[in-house]
Amino acid sequence: MAVDALDTRILRLLIEQPRTSVREYARILGVARGTLQARLDRLERDGVITGTGPVLSPAALGHPVLAFVHLEVTQGHLVEVGDALAAVPEIIEAFSTTGGGDLLTRVVARDNGHLEDVIQQLIQLPGVVRTRTDVALRERVAHRVLPLVEAVGRAAGDRDRPGSGAVQA
């Protein structure tokens, strides 16, 4: 899906001013409300925009400990283990991976003792061979997408510029 300069400006506004109305976004961008809504609909349909809800802090919800738990899984049990992980509320993300393990989970806990309890629960899952845990000490770069949006926007601008090698319509 190609993201052009207007899409980039829309995405930047959504990130920087998430509580603004569509009408206000259109005014800020200098485009018709219908144009903006059509762009938003396309960005959602194409999977660029994947959510609109609030971003919550596990720490503020009483779970300040963050760990990354790698799980090694018996061959042929990846799907079952992945499904079982979804039933553990302290797992806030899980990914199939290559490398030293089969699954990588992002786990939050109230304290280190609670983290140990969660890990013990994971070890008990049928198909889990072993785990390896890395505890996060301090967040160095918060989850972000704006720098990527800006880089994609710059690349789109370069493609659209005459003499850039792109085919002009």
Query: Within 10 Å of residue 30's Cβ, how many Cβ atoms?
Result: 8
Distance (Å, rounded) from C-alpha 24 to C-alpha 10? Answer: 11
Torsion sign, CA atoms 55, 61, 66, 71:
negative
- The pLDDT value given to residue 164: 52
Distance (Å, rounded) from C-alpha 15 to C-alpha 139? Answer: 20
42 is written with which tokens? Answer: 């396309």
pTM for this structure?
Answer: 0.82
Sites in the chain below the pLDDT cut of 50: 167-169
- The pLDDT value given to residue 160: 64
Structural contact between residues 41 and 10, judged by C-beta atoms closer than 8 angstroms: no
- The pLDDT value given to residue 162: 64
Collect all residues with Cβ–Cβ distance below 8 Å to 166 and sequence separation of at least 6.
159, 160
- The pLDDT value given to residue 54: 87
Edge-to-edge, what's the strand order for the sheet holding 128-135? 91-96, 103-109, 65-73, 128-135
